[in-house]
Structure 1
Amino acid sequence: MSGPSGVGIECHDLQSNPRFLFRQPRALQWFENGRLVKRSEDERQAGRFELFLDLLYVAILSNFADTLVEDISGAKLVKYILILSPSWHVWSDLRELMNSFYNDDLFQRVLILWVMATLVIYGNNAPLVDEDIGAMRSAVGAYMVARITCNLAHLYYSFASYHHRAQQRLWVGLSTLCLCIYIPLYFESVSIRSKIATAAVAIFMEECTWIFCYCPAAKKLLRATYTTAVDINHEVDRYAAFYIIALGEFLYLIIVGSHAAIGLNDRLLRAIWTLIIAFCLNWLYVHNDGSVQNDHPLRHSIYTAFAFALIHLPLIASLLAGGHVAAASVAEHEFEEPQRWLLCAGLGVGMICLYIFALMHGSKDERGTLILDKPLRLIMRPVTGIIMILLPLARHLGATSILSIIMALIVFCTLWETIASLRKGACFWERWEDTQYPEKTLIRGDTAKHEEASGP
């Protein structure tokens, strides 16, 4: 995922001829004998159909979080993690494909639509897997079809372009074998405990397979001249988009149903506090580690690159659950005990994940460049996270009080990092200069009027 600077290929070499409905898939970047080569040096952004895919995930994630909050228990939390992870894997599959081979032809658009159709089936049935065998079979079947579809796309692309061929075929073979682990979930005779264990093993094996197939060890094992590389700008853009989807869970329920309507009231206050919490969480994600110059985890090293990808699942899962409870509090009078723990633990774990996320950025600043060095700048993330996790122990606190404390902690952490990330000797207010129109503009205007009046 990282490597030396690449050699660019001109933009006109990209496959973008509008005369063809189906274009030849061409790798957009790759490593050739350890040297990064990019087909174009232009900065890539997420395609419109990738963003359309994200819209479906807004509904899927909201449905999963809503199912958890309806009946909070240890078993429901395990189910929430086990049904959220496969949906993340499908999204990751499409992200990988579009990062390496995006050409926006008819095949790719139909591929996205087909996978979205399977996700509609999965998103509707996954919350019911512990209640009905039909829902279990539908969810598992839809997931397997989505993953196999993406694997077939990888296989098809491996014939069209040799640059990722070795690792693509290794991935197709191993990931398809991992899908076979899910087969016992179809059988009614298998107990629910055994199915939980089976799903957990399958998800773990899928994560390990992805790491192995794209790590340096696999490249050495395959002895491939050409190996995979990613477009870092596109990758960062896609992960940030999914993070925004999770934060959307904070905002949806504070409006829908108009529970905070009519005057100033406690519910309106909780809605505003939830908005501020989500805004600050987005601020902290964008802020990274606050360094003037740093290496993104995808560039810093292969270990931080994989860690960056892996940390997003627990980060999103925790914030999604905590955010749903925070937003749902607008419609409730008080929290029940499980809701208190899910809210505080979800947001607390999310803050700790954001701390790990920031640590993975490699700071290039010399010591003393900023007001506080990196360890002290970031220390408030784990501190506020731990305080929030322990907050439910104060049983006398009501819903408004808990949200107020959480909001104050996160706002304090955000302001701490923002101020601590200023250069030493920085001022809080920049002096205003050049606020008057320059005299040259007036002279040019007068000259133009004079010429117009005098005529040719």
Structure 2
Amino acid sequence: MAEPSPAVRVSTLELFFDLVFVFTITQLAETLAEDLTLRTFGDVLLILFVVWWMYSGYAWLTNAVAPSSTTRRTLLLTGMAGFLVMALAIPEAFGEYGWLFGVSYLVVNVVHGLLFRTAGPAARQAQRLLGPLNIASALLVLAGGLVPEPWRHLLWVAAPLLQVATGYIHNIEMHTISAGHFAERHGLVVIIAIGESIIAIGAGFHGLHLGSGEILVAVLGLWVAYYLWWFYFAGDDARAEHVLARTDNPRRRARLALNAWGYAHYVILLGIIVAAVGIKKTVGHAFEALHWDAALVLSGGLALYLVGHAAFLALLRLRGVLHRLAAAAVILATIPLGHMLAIAQLVAIALIMTAAAIIEDIPEVRRSGSTAIGDFGRSAGQPD
């Protein structure tokens, strides 16, 4: 669909909404850090998917329905309350508070449907099938919170399967997508999630003596977070926005938005969660050997982030895919280092990410330099 309004940007209320949503990311990281097992990791995968699906739903919503009236702002506040309660219930989403998570998730879905009713005719038409399908997935999550195992997990698995099918069943091309707003909204979530991960890591230092090991881990954690920012925001975010803006076919545009900013970003956020857990596991143990599971999540989280961003770039047919995949593979190779010495793995990861970013950036610097020389030559009346 043609760009409806290039000047539309993310409002401060939407940013406020994103801050509440990212609390769910923090809670998932805390939950995994406290019980680093395959079962908990599977639960994190399920919770993140259903929560991210509805966050994406709100991003698509405010892309078409600006929170510009009292009614819309009040409904959006209600949705924020639902996300907050969901986040509080996450540690026991498969236990005591499964029903609370389910009820708040249903509220989020109902509010989403009500807000879409205030949109234009095309958005309301898309919502006629999307709304009931979203409510059905929310009811599966709620039912999962009320029944015992194995039905609980079976219903939870059914919910994301229905959500994936929803992307193909309803008329996705009926959604209006403002590329600038859409890309900015998702970019803000990524940078907030990276920031929240630093806060979560910092909280792990509470009560510890700040020796050389602790300070080194803190600095390296910031170093790694900086390169997470670099890989996403050092130009690729703007290039991605331009690709979406230039995609004129409505169905292709909507499908690209769903796949690149929906599914690929799910992997990116999962990587941030897992990486934060891995770095937290090194706090207080910098000069000790990590258990294999801690070393695995430290490298695995960063590799997931890079693979997710590689998928994002591949979907948009942008450069940098091979750089990220190669960096992810080399980072995974550092796992044995962590099993010998935690700080050795963290230093190696930081150096690998730095080298990968610089190597990728060299051709861009050369092109910029050549352009600058050519411009100087033309301004001086010289041939290029």
TM-score range, shorter chain: 0.7 to 0.9
Length-normalised TM-score, structure 2: 0.85
Q: Select the residue among 161, 169, 189 that pairs with 2:128.
A: 169
Q: How does 1:165-204 map to 2 (within 5 A)?
A: 165-188=124-147, 190-191=148-149, 193-204=150-161
Q: Is 1:213 aligned to 2:170, yes or no?
A: yes
Residue aligning to 1:319: 272
The answer to whether the aligner puts 1:112 opposite 2:76 as a matched pair is yes
Aligned 8 A contact 1:251 1:327 in 2: no
Deviation at residue 113 of structure 1 after TM alignment: 1.6
Amino acid in structure 1 at the alignment position of 2:135: T
* Equivalent residue, structure 1, for 2:382: none
Amino acid across the alignment from 2:332: I
Three-state SS of the structure 1 residue aligned to 2:369 is coil
Percent identity between the two aligned chains: 19
Q: Is the 8 A contact 1:249 1:323 kept in 2?
A: no
CA contact (8 A) 2:134 2:163 kept: yes
In structure 1, the partner of 2:309 is 354
- Which residue in the other structure is 1:268 paired with? 215
The 1:153/1:97 distance shift into structure 2, 3 A limit, reads: same
Q: Which residues of 2 match residues 241-252 of structure 1 at below 5 A? A: 241-252=188-199
CA contact (8 A) 2:67 2:73 kept: no
The farther-off stretch of 61-70 and 113-122 is: 113-122
- Does structure 2 retain, via aligned residues, the 8 Å contact 1:252–1:327? no
Residues 316, 350 of structure 1: 8 Å contact kept: yes
Specify the code of the residue in structure 1 equivalent to 2:335: P
Matching residue of 1:379: 322
Aligned equivalents of 1:394, 1:55: Cα separation in 2: 35
Looking at structure 2, the residues matched to 294 and 242 of structure 1 have their Cα atoms a distance apart, in angstroms, of 15
In 1, Cα distance between the equivalents of 2:12 and 2:105?
A: 24
Task: Check conservation: 2:76, 2:111, Cα contact below 8 A.
Answer: no
Counterpart AA for 2:195: G
**Partner of residue 141, structure 1:** 103
Match of 1:96 among 35, 60, 79: 60
Cα distance in 2 for residues equivalent to 1:229 and 1:316: 25
2:256 is matched with which residue?
304
**Structure 2 unaligned residues grouped into runs of 5+:** 377-384
What whole-Å deviation, never above 9, does each CA across 1:55-86 have from its counterpart, x for those lacking one? Answer: 22333211210110111010000111122222
Q: Rate the CA distance shift 1:80–1:53 in 2: closer, same or farther, 3 A.
A: same
CA distance in structure 1 between the aligned counterparts of 2:276 and 2:206, rounded to whole angstroms: 18
2:336 maps to 1:389: no
- Structure number with greater Rg is 1
- CA distance in 2: counterparts of 1:111 and 1:129, whole angstroms: 25
Q: Deviations over 1:290-320 (max 9, x none)?
A: 9989942464444433321221011111222
| Partner Cα separation in structure 2 for residue 290 and residue 184 of structure 1 | 39
In structure 2, the residue matched to 1:234 is 181
RMSD over equivalenced CA pairs, Å:
3.0
Matched, 1:419 2:362: yes
1:139-173 CA distances to partner (integer Å, 9 max, x unpaired)?
1111112112211222x325xx3232321212123
Further displaced range: 141-150 or 249-258: 249-258
CA deviation vs aligned residue, 1:8-44 (integer Å, no higher than 9, x gap): xxxxxxxxxxxxxxxxxxxxxxxxxxxxxx3xx4512
- For the pair 1:58 / 2:22, whether they are aligned, the reply is yes
Q: Which runs of 5+ in 1 are unaligned?
A: 7-37, 217-226, 364-373, 434-456
The verdict on how the C-alpha distance between 1:47 and 1:331 changes in structure 2, with shifts beyond 3 A counting, is farther
Greater mean alpha carbon deviation, residues 168-177 or residues 77-86: 168-177
8 Å CA contact 1:291–1:421 kept in 2: the answer is no
Aligned counterpart, 1:30: none
- Paired residue total: 366
Change (3 A) 1:235 1:292: closer
Provide, for residues 180-220 of structure 1, a one-character-per-residue CA deviation record: whole Å limited to 9, x for no partner: 333532434x31x331122112112113203432435xxxx
Change (3 A) 1:299 1:260: farther
Residues 365-417 of structure 1: CA deviation (Å, up to 9, x unaligned): xxxxxxxxx4xx54221112012224324465311100001101100111011
Q: Are the counterparts in 1 of residues 82 and 105 from structure 2 also a CA contact under 8 Å? A: yes
Aligned letter for 2:141? Y
More helix per residue: 1 or 2?
A: 2
